[in-house]
Amino acid sequence: MKKTLLFLLLTLFFIKGINAQKLPSFDADLGKKSVFGQEIRIPYLDVVSYFGYIKEGSVPDEQRDGKKYYYLYLWIPVAAPEIGIRMVSPIPSYLSPGKEDFVMEDYSANFNERKKYFDTWISFERADVITNDSNFVANAKSANWKMYAQNDDTGDLPAQPSGKKYNSQMRISSETSNPSKALVMGLYRIGFTTYKTGEVQGSFIAQIGSVVKLPGIKIAKDLESLKAAMDGK
Protein backbone atom coordinates (compact mmCIF):
# COMPACT_ATOMS: atom_id res chain seq x y z
CA MET A 1 0.00 0.00 0.00
CA LYS A 2 2.71 2.44 1.01
CA LYS A 3 4.69 1.42 -2.01
CA THR A 4 1.71 2.12 -4.29
CA LEU A 5 1.26 5.56 -2.77
CA LEU A 6 4.93 6.34 -3.14
CA PHE A 7 4.79 5.17 -6.74
CA LEU A 8 1.77 7.38 -7.42
CA LEU A 9 3.44 10.41 -5.85
CA LEU A 10 6.61 9.80 -7.81
CA THR A 11 4.62 9.40 -11.03
CA LEU A 12 2.75 12.65 -10.37
CA PHE A 13 6.01 14.42 -9.59
CA PHE A 14 7.51 13.06 -12.78
CA ILE A 15 4.54 14.09 -14.95
CA LYS A 16 4.55 17.59 -13.47
CA GLY A 17 8.28 17.74 -14.05
CA ILE A 18 7.80 16.90 -17.70
CA ASN A 19 4.99 19.43 -18.09
CA ALA A 20 7.22 22.15 -16.69
CA GLN A 21 9.72 21.37 -19.46
CA LYS A 22 7.56 22.33 -22.41
CA LEU A 23 6.57 25.39 -24.31
CA PRO A 24 3.10 26.61 -23.35
CA SER A 25 0.23 24.74 -25.00
CA PHE A 26 -0.37 26.03 -28.54
CA ASP A 27 -4.08 26.84 -28.51
CA ALA A 28 -6.43 27.58 -31.38
CA ASP A 29 -8.79 30.51 -31.92
CA LEU A 30 -11.36 28.15 -33.41
CA GLY A 31 -13.84 26.89 -30.82
CA LYS A 32 -12.67 29.51 -28.29
CA LYS A 33 -15.23 30.01 -25.54
CA SER A 34 -15.71 32.33 -22.66
CA VAL A 35 -16.96 30.58 -19.52
CA PHE A 36 -17.61 32.70 -16.41
CA GLY A 37 -15.37 35.39 -17.87
CA GLN A 38 -12.54 32.94 -18.45
CA GLU A 39 -11.25 32.26 -21.94
CA ILE A 40 -11.09 28.57 -22.81
CA ARG A 41 -9.14 27.43 -25.84
CA ILE A 42 -8.52 24.01 -27.32
CA PRO A 43 -4.93 23.10 -28.25
CA TYR A 44 -4.13 22.59 -31.94
CA LEU A 45 -4.66 18.97 -32.93
CA ASP A 46 -1.48 18.84 -34.97
CA VAL A 47 1.75 20.71 -34.16
CA VAL A 48 4.87 20.28 -36.27
CA SER A 49 8.23 21.70 -35.23
CA TYR A 50 11.24 22.95 -37.13
CA PHE A 51 14.60 23.32 -35.34
CA GLY A 52 16.89 25.85 -36.99
CA TYR A 53 20.01 27.90 -36.58
CA ILE A 54 21.21 30.96 -38.49
CA LYS A 55 24.94 31.27 -38.24
CA GLU A 56 27.02 34.43 -38.26
CA GLY A 57 27.61 35.82 -41.73
CA SER A 58 24.71 33.90 -43.32
CA VAL A 59 23.37 35.31 -46.56
CA PRO A 60 19.67 36.13 -46.17
CA ASP A 61 17.17 34.81 -48.70
CA GLU A 62 16.03 38.34 -49.43
CA GLN A 63 16.38 41.98 -48.33
CA ARG A 64 12.94 43.44 -47.69
CA ASP A 65 12.40 46.97 -46.40
CA GLY A 66 16.05 47.01 -45.38
CA LYS A 67 15.63 43.84 -43.32
CA LYS A 68 17.43 40.55 -43.76
CA TYR A 69 14.74 38.00 -44.48
CA TYR A 70 14.96 34.22 -44.25
CA TYR A 71 12.28 31.80 -45.39
CA LEU A 72 10.95 28.43 -44.38
CA TYR A 73 8.93 26.90 -47.20
CA LEU A 74 5.88 24.80 -46.39
CA TRP A 75 3.86 22.39 -48.42
CA ILE A 76 0.40 22.17 -46.88
CA PRO A 77 -1.33 19.12 -48.37
CA VAL A 78 -4.94 19.77 -47.28
CA ALA A 79 -7.16 22.80 -46.80
CA ALA A 80 -7.17 23.99 -43.19
CA PRO A 81 -9.75 26.10 -41.33
CA GLU A 82 -7.06 27.66 -39.11
CA ILE A 83 -3.30 27.60 -38.77
CA GLY A 84 -1.10 28.92 -35.99
CA ILE A 85 2.55 29.88 -36.40
CA ARG A 86 4.98 30.64 -33.61
CA MET A 87 8.71 31.14 -33.28
CA VAL A 88 10.89 31.03 -30.16
CA SER A 89 14.55 32.06 -29.99
CA PRO A 90 16.77 30.69 -28.57
CA ILE A 91 15.55 27.08 -28.49
CA PRO A 92 15.01 26.35 -24.78
CA SER A 93 17.60 23.84 -23.50
CA TYR A 94 14.83 21.39 -22.49
CA LEU A 95 13.65 21.02 -26.11
CA SER A 96 15.22 18.65 -28.57
CA PRO A 97 13.96 17.37 -31.91
CA GLY A 98 11.69 14.34 -31.94
CA LYS A 99 11.45 11.77 -34.71
CA GLU A 100 8.71 13.68 -36.55
CA ASP A 101 10.41 17.06 -36.33
CA PHE A 102 12.22 18.90 -39.09
CA VAL A 103 15.83 19.78 -38.35
CA MET A 104 18.03 22.18 -40.27
CA GLU A 105 21.60 21.01 -40.88
CA ASP A 106 23.00 24.16 -39.28
CA TYR A 107 21.09 23.41 -36.09
CA SER A 108 23.02 20.19 -35.49
CA ALA A 109 26.30 21.72 -36.73
CA ASN A 110 26.01 24.66 -34.29
CA PHE A 111 24.53 22.79 -31.35
CA ASN A 112 27.02 24.33 -28.90
CA GLU A 113 26.00 27.83 -29.99
CA ARG A 114 22.29 27.30 -29.49
CA LYS A 115 22.07 29.87 -26.68
CA LYS A 116 22.49 32.65 -29.22
CA TYR A 117 19.19 34.32 -30.08
CA PHE A 118 17.45 37.12 -31.92
CA ASP A 119 14.29 39.17 -31.46
CA THR A 120 12.00 37.23 -33.80
CA TRP A 121 9.58 38.75 -36.32
CA ILE A 122 7.50 36.47 -38.56
CA SER A 123 5.21 36.63 -41.60
CA PHE A 124 3.08 34.07 -43.41
CA GLU A 125 2.48 34.11 -47.17
CA ARG A 126 0.87 31.85 -49.76
CA ALA A 127 2.11 31.28 -53.30
CA ASP A 128 -0.12 30.83 -56.35
CA VAL A 129 1.40 27.35 -56.74
CA ILE A 130 -1.00 24.58 -55.86
CA THR A 131 0.32 21.53 -57.69
CA ASN A 132 3.38 19.40 -57.16
CA ASP A 133 4.57 18.59 -60.66
CA SER A 134 7.93 18.57 -62.46
CA ASN A 135 7.80 22.39 -62.82
CA PHE A 136 7.23 22.94 -59.10
CA VAL A 137 10.58 24.58 -58.26
CA ALA A 138 10.55 26.83 -61.35
CA ASN A 139 6.92 27.81 -60.73
CA ALA A 140 7.65 28.50 -57.07
CA LYS A 141 10.62 30.71 -57.94
CA SER A 142 8.45 32.93 -60.10
CA ALA A 143 5.34 32.72 -57.91
CA ASN A 144 3.26 35.63 -56.69
CA TRP A 145 3.00 35.68 -52.90
CA LYS A 146 0.00 36.83 -50.90
CA MET A 147 0.69 38.18 -47.40
CA TYR A 148 -1.63 36.66 -44.79
CA ALA A 149 -0.28 37.90 -41.47
CA GLN A 150 2.73 39.19 -39.55
CA ASN A 151 3.71 39.25 -35.90
CA ASP A 152 6.53 40.71 -33.85
CA ASP A 153 5.92 40.01 -30.15
CA THR A 154 3.56 37.89 -28.06
CA GLY A 155 3.00 37.68 -24.33
CA ASP A 156 1.91 34.04 -24.72
CA LEU A 157 5.43 32.67 -25.09
CA PRO A 158 8.31 32.59 -22.60
CA ALA A 159 10.55 35.66 -22.42
CA GLN A 160 13.89 35.69 -24.20
CA PRO A 161 17.08 35.63 -22.06
CA SER A 162 16.90 39.45 -22.06
CA GLY A 163 13.72 39.12 -19.98
CA LYS A 164 11.66 40.64 -22.82
CA LYS A 165 8.69 38.83 -24.36
CA TYR A 166 9.92 39.33 -27.90
CA ASN A 167 9.04 35.91 -29.39
CA SER A 168 6.34 35.71 -32.08
CA GLN A 169 2.99 34.01 -32.56
CA MET A 170 -0.04 34.38 -34.81
CA ARG A 171 -3.21 32.54 -35.74
CA ILE A 172 -4.66 32.70 -39.22
CA SER A 173 -8.23 31.76 -40.04
CA SER A 174 -9.20 30.62 -43.48
CA GLU A 175 -11.49 33.25 -45.00
CA THR A 176 -14.01 31.12 -46.83
CA SER A 177 -15.82 34.21 -48.13
CA ASN A 178 -12.56 35.51 -49.59
CA PRO A 179 -10.84 32.86 -51.75
CA SER A 180 -7.64 34.90 -51.91
CA LYS A 181 -7.27 34.50 -48.13
CA ALA A 182 -8.35 30.87 -47.85
CA LEU A 183 -5.96 28.28 -46.41
CA VAL A 184 -6.08 25.98 -49.40
CA MET A 185 -3.69 23.16 -50.24
CA GLY A 186 -0.46 24.53 -51.65
CA LEU A 187 2.84 26.27 -51.15
CA TYR A 188 3.37 28.70 -48.26
CA ARG A 189 6.32 30.36 -46.61
CA ILE A 190 7.14 31.68 -43.17
CA GLY A 191 9.35 34.73 -43.47
CA PHE A 192 11.46 35.61 -40.48
CA THR A 193 13.79 38.37 -39.57
CA THR A 194 14.62 40.38 -36.51
CA TYR A 195 12.52 43.32 -35.37
CA LYS A 196 15.38 45.80 -35.46
CA THR A 197 17.30 46.10 -38.71
CA GLY A 198 20.41 44.01 -38.20
CA GLU A 199 21.82 40.54 -38.10
CA VAL A 200 19.65 37.48 -37.62
CA GLN A 201 21.75 35.03 -35.67
CA GLY A 202 21.01 32.18 -33.29
CA SER A 203 18.81 29.17 -32.74
CA PHE A 204 15.05 29.12 -33.23
CA ILE A 205 12.16 26.71 -33.13
CA ALA A 206 9.24 27.34 -35.49
CA GLN A 207 5.95 25.54 -34.89
CA ILE A 208 2.92 25.19 -37.12
CA GLY A 209 -0.30 24.28 -35.36
CA SER A 210 -3.45 23.12 -37.10
CA VAL A 211 -6.99 22.32 -36.03
CA VAL A 212 -7.00 19.44 -38.52
CA LYS A 213 -4.32 16.80 -39.09
CA LEU A 214 -1.92 17.77 -41.86
CA PRO A 215 -0.65 14.43 -43.13
CA GLY A 216 2.27 14.93 -45.47
CA ILE A 217 3.11 18.50 -44.41
CA LYS A 218 6.71 19.37 -45.32
CA ILE A 219 8.95 22.21 -44.19
CA ALA A 220 12.31 23.10 -45.69
CA LYS A 221 14.65 26.07 -45.90
CA ASP A 222 14.78 26.12 -49.70
CA LEU A 223 12.51 25.08 -52.56
CA GLU A 224 14.78 22.33 -53.88
CA SER A 225 14.84 20.59 -50.46
CA LEU A 226 11.10 21.07 -50.15
CA LYS A 227 10.50 19.44 -53.54
CA ALA A 228 12.75 16.51 -52.56
CA ALA A 229 10.85 16.08 -49.29
CA MET A 230 7.49 16.28 -51.10
CA ASP A 231 8.63 13.54 -53.45
CA GLY A 232 9.83 11.43 -50.52
CA LYS A 233 13.51 11.71 -51.47
Which residues contact Ca ion (rule: CB under 5 A)?
119-120, 152-153, 166, 195
Q: Which is nearer to Ca ion, 102 or 118 (CB)?
A: 118
Q: Which is nearer to Ca ion, 73 or 121 (CB)?
A: 121
Q: Which is nearer to Ca ion, 18 or 159 (CB)?
A: 159
User: Can you give the C-alpha Rg of the chain in angstroms?
Assistant: 19
Contacts of 232 by beta carbon, 8 Å cutoff, 6+ apart: none
- 114 C-beta neighbours (distance < 10 Å), count: 19
Amino acid at 106: D
Q: Which is nearer to Ca ion, 170 or 226 (CB)?
A: 170
Amino acid at 132: N
Q: Which is nearer to Ca ion, 162 or 178 (CB)?
A: 162
For the CA atoms of 5, 8, 9, 12, the dihedral, rounded to the nearest 10 degrees, stands at -170
| Residue 217 beta carbon to Ca ion: minimum distance, rounded to whole angstroms | 25
Q: State the sign of the Cα–Cα–Cα–Cα dihedral 173, 126, 102, 54.
A: negative
Distance of alpha carbon 1 from alpha carbon 9, whole angstroms:
12
| Residue 8 beta carbon to Ca ion: minimum distance, rounded to whole angstroms | 42
Distance of alpha carbon 158 from alpha carbon 167, whole angstroms:
8
| Residue 160 beta carbon to Ca ion: minimum distance, rounded to whole angstroms | 8
Distance of alpha carbon 146 from alpha carbon 125, whole angstroms:
5
Q: Which is nearer to Ca ion, 124 or 166 (CB)?
A: 166
Nearest to Ca ion by Cβ — which residue?
166
Distance of alpha carbon 118 from alpha carbon 137, whole angstroms:
30
| Residue 119 beta carbon to Ca ion: minimum distance, rounded to whole angstroms | 4
